[in-house]
Structure 1
């Protein structure tokens, strides 16, 4: 298993207090004998320690307080970096791109100074832009035509890491579900889970037909570690599930998992007017090259995510 290759290594994790970071810490932390030194960069380590004490007390875990664009640490050696710092959601124009690009520049500069063996850059499926209606799954060979500030900045950062003298692999991540999903975020699964926990009706703003797929957090971490340790340099790999579900089906699955009788209200019943009707990756490349697999069904993933 890829995680064994981290034994005795030093790993720097940016974005360590987000969904990806907490999922990585949780998975690595289950093996107390691994002996991997983890350093997490966070804007507010104290808040993380207060809200997630079971993760904060992991052995061989330390924190750096700082902004991804300008953090500083005593000069030290690191074997690996997972750059998962990711400003999602709604931001003032230009700020999201500034954080992504300047943060990537800072990480690359830091990696050169610290003798890093390999970087894993967490990118996004948004670098592709809109998925063609005739394409069931997006392959890595699809030309990138990002249409959002976030997608454009992620694509520019990909090119920076691909050109870097420090070896780097690129994870183009799609949609996920797990226990550390922020229920206050803008993601549909988070919104539906939050509604169920509060006993409120689930509101679907679209017509319910857009298709998404959901990879469980444990699979996500396994795939990311495989990429970090075995992925080809300068190569992008899609990370996500190939199993498509409509937004309405997702809502139904989440409601069933909670055992509630709250209503599912579909606000727009006109079909065919959703700009991003399908957002599904092809994962043939990562599965064939690295031997990863999807181990959890959506039903299992939801059940595990809500089991706190």
Structure 2
């Protein structure tokens, strides 16, 4: 485990320590525990359990035990974790009672949408339904769904920060809406199960992030830019660089997710992300300046066109947090670069 990661885990503990007493002697079930969110959930869970000397266990659903064992042996062998092989849509229910469930088990790989929109839509909905059924029979009191800002559809060009009260939605006649619409249906399922069975269903509408474990070879622009910088290549911007995004560092993401799980209101969605916008062009130039690589833009922007935005209002989430300080973007990029740079050198 790198020094950077230990510092981040200590940061998470400092800002969530008062929440963890209720986890003692309890079990939590986690889906998606081997992805970007999942690795951070497991890193923070095991670190906090160890530091606070809690008697708590997490059971993690995964499709590929051996692959995760190779990826994160220190987590795979941790005594507070148990790995359970199965598919999110039809896994057999583990025995015993669970007090908490975090459902983070939906792929965010854009290539899957292109190849099989219907399959993605079905997986999101059936995975949520399956985990809610499991929550019902296993005694879960608090259930957290990692939803998405995609539930809002296209953010209006004139709206600087999109609030949870915005009633927009994805275009239901556009198959690329399969992800966002699937998450909308998942949120409705959470409300229905909460009303019918008394489960506290917490909803985190997640935006864009950066940090260790973020895939560098998928469709995440910041990951692609960091990959190019690590490899000493020019940073390539496929579009015109005008879209506006914001990036929350992974340690802050964990503080928010654990806080929403323990303290959030039921069926009351919280936006999770940074409210500090930056254009894709400026993001690339920032990374290029830090690591002394050039930036290439392949399209010319239209001067009369407002930039595409994907930036949340986070006032509702901040109301839950005792400390509203967040890791600044430049520092977040440097932390991610150091972590991935070490992984890159280890593989050589």
Give TM-score scaled by structure 2 length: 0.84
Match 1:59 to one of 79, 86, 91: 79
Q: Show the counterpart of 1:211.
A: 244
Match in the other structure for 2:342: none
Which secondary structure does the structure 2 equivalent of 1:307 belong to?
Answer: helix
Superposed CA offset, 1:62-91 (max 9, x none): 101111001114421111000001122222
Structure 2 partner of 1:267? 298
The aligned counterpart of 2:6 is none
Contact kept? 2:230, 2:337, Cα under 8 Å: no
**d(CA) in 1 for partners of 2:222 and 2:75?**
23
- 8 Å Cα contact 1:223-1:292 kept in structure 2: no
| 2:175 is aligned with 1:158 | no
1:39 counterpart = 2:59: yes
Equivalent in the alignment of 1:194: 227
The yes-or-no answer on 1:182 pairing with 2:211 is: no
CA shift in 2, pair 1:295/1:7, >3 Å = farther
CA distance in structure 2 between the aligned counterparts of 1:67 and 1:272, rounded to whole angstroms: 47
Distance in 1, matches of 2:281 and 2:87, equals 38
Q: In structure 2, do the counterparts of structure 1 residues 27 and 271 end up closer, same or farther at CA, with 3 Å as the change threshold? A: farther
Equivalent in 23, 34, 40 of residue 40 of structure 2 = 23
Say if 1:132 and 1:199 are closer, same or farther in 2 by CA, change over 3 A: same
Distance 2:307 2:178 in 1: 16
Give the corresponding residue for 2:255: 222
Cα offset, 1:273, TM superposition: 8.4
Distance 2:30 2:280 in 1: 32
> What is aligned with 2:5?
none
Deviation at 1:3, TM superposition (A): 4.0
Are the structure 2 counterparts of residues 191 and 229 from structure 1 closer, same or farther at C-alpha, using a change threshold of 3 Å? same
SS of aligned partner of 1:40:
strand
Instruction: Return the match for 2:89 from 65, 69, 76.
Output: 69
Q: SS where residue 156 of structure 1 aligns? A: helix
Instruction: List gaps (5 residues or longer) in structure 2.
Output: 1-15, 172-176, 340-348
Instruction: Output the CA distance in 1 between the equivalents of 2:307 and 2:128.
Output: 28
Q: Structure 2 vs 1, CA of residues 135 and 205 (structure 1 numbering), >3 Å: closer, same or farther? A: same
Corresponding residue for residue 154 of structure 2? 130
Question: Alpha carbons of 1:113 and 1:159: their partners in 2 closer, same or farther (altered >3 Å)?
Answer: same
Deviation, structure 1 residue 5 = 3.7
Q: How far has the Cα of 1:276 moved from its partner?
A: 7.0
Q: How far has the Cα of 1:52 moved from its partner?
A: 1.2
1:289 deviates by 3.7
Distance (Å, rounded) in 1 between the aligned partners of 2:304 and 2:217: 26
Q: Deviations over 1:15-50 (max 9, x none)?
A: 001100001111222231233201111110210111
Other-structure match for 1:252: 285
1:237, CA displacement in angstroms? 0.6
**Does the 8 A contact of 2:148 with 2:207 survive in 1?**
yes
**Superposed CA RMSD:** 1.7
Aligned residue for 1:169? Answer: 202
Relative distance call for 1:26 and 1:272 in structure 2 (3 A) is farther
Specify the alignment match of 1:6 in structure 2: 23
Distance in 2 (CA, whole Å) between partners of 1:29 and 1:108 is: 25
Q: How far apart, CA to CA, are the structure 2 residues paired with 1:118 and 1:182?
A: 29
Shift of the 3–90 alpha-carbon distance from structure 1 to 2, 3 Å rule, reads farther
Deviates more, 1:137-146 or 1:32-41: 32-41
1:234 alignment partner, SS class: coil
What is the distance in 2 between the residues matched to 1:273 and 1:205?
20
CA contact (8 A) 1:127 1:155 kept: yes
Measure how far apart 1:219 and its partner are: 0.5
Q: Which runs of 5+ in 1 are unaligned?
A: none
